[in-house]
Amino acid sequence: MDLVIGLVTDLHFGPEARFGGKLRKLTAQAPGLLRAFVERMNREVRPDVVVNLGDDLEDESREADHARYAEVMAILGELDAPVIHVAGNHDAVHLDPQDLVRFWGRPEGSALHYSVEVGGYHIVVLHTVEVKDVSVTIDDVQLAWLQAELEQSRSPVLVMMHHSAADQHLVGNRWFEGLPHICLVRQRARLRSILEASGKVLAVFNGHLHWNHLDVIRSIPYVTLQSLIENVEEDAPGRAAAAHGVVRLTPRRLLVEVEGAERARYQFARGSTGE
């Protein structure tokens, strides 16, 4: 079964954001960059589905965040493909879970973790919770749900989440060097053991860390995608990463191509990724 997935993450619609005294997030360019992503998906890639990996907002206030999230949804709504959404930590500062569920068009009362079947694949969306400057966690209830989902799935599985479930080596990361507790899921070893035990997981995708990164742990690739609006230069005026990914699945391989200022390409034989 062939499947093409478009990926985008960390759009950060909102006010200017500096880090360490330098302009790191080119938030002012976010709307234009997102429209360019949508145009490329529609014109050239024509994916079967697009996954938005979260942090659509650079949080400011409930009123501003609500308006900006609506703008993101309107732009992504121009895609010719359906969109799967993941909640990022910035999205959940001023918007509550049911705000996000309504924006996503999911039934009232739905959880922020869920699954969908697309083209013969089971796509699982996880919701990781960040307490600012303290921790990133996934609770026991969701882990039990995940295990049940994997047990009942008759299809190969792809996992989408915002934070990372890998033990990333963070040296050189502008945002998170020395700070694994605010970018890596605390329960990641237990989470990975559930994924591994299923024998069905082809790959795990996440955003949040604002770089391209790959870990392969017990034959499962853990792919981190660079932020759409990350400044790849040291300071203002800057140059946007314009990062986005295209995942191409065939019965024999999984190919991940990251486009933008910092390109990357990863290829895996399906026999080594859980099939």
The domain locations on the chain are: 3-272
Q: pLDDT by residue for the chain (275 residues), tens digit each? A: 899 999 999 999 999 888 888 999 999 999 999 999 999 999 999 999 999 999 999 999 999 999 999 999 999 999 999 999 999 999 999 999 999 999 999 999 999 999 999 999 999 999 999 999 999 999 999 999 999 999 999 999 999 999 999 999 999 999 999 999 999 999 999 999 999 999 999 999 999 999 999 999 999 999 999 999 999 998 899 999 999 999 999 999 999 999 999 999 999 998 644 44
pTM attached to this predicted model? 0.96
**125 SS3 class:** strand
223: β partners: 205, 214
Tell which CATH architecture fits domain 3-272.
Answer: 4-Layer Sandwich (3.60)
Question: The tokens of 103 are what?
Answer: 């924006």
Phi, then psi, of 119 in degrees rounded to 5: 55, 35
Residue 158 buriedness (CB in 10 A; 0-12 / 13-18 / 19+) = buried
- The CA distances from residue 54 to 134, 177, 262, 275, in Å, are 19, 21, 20, 28
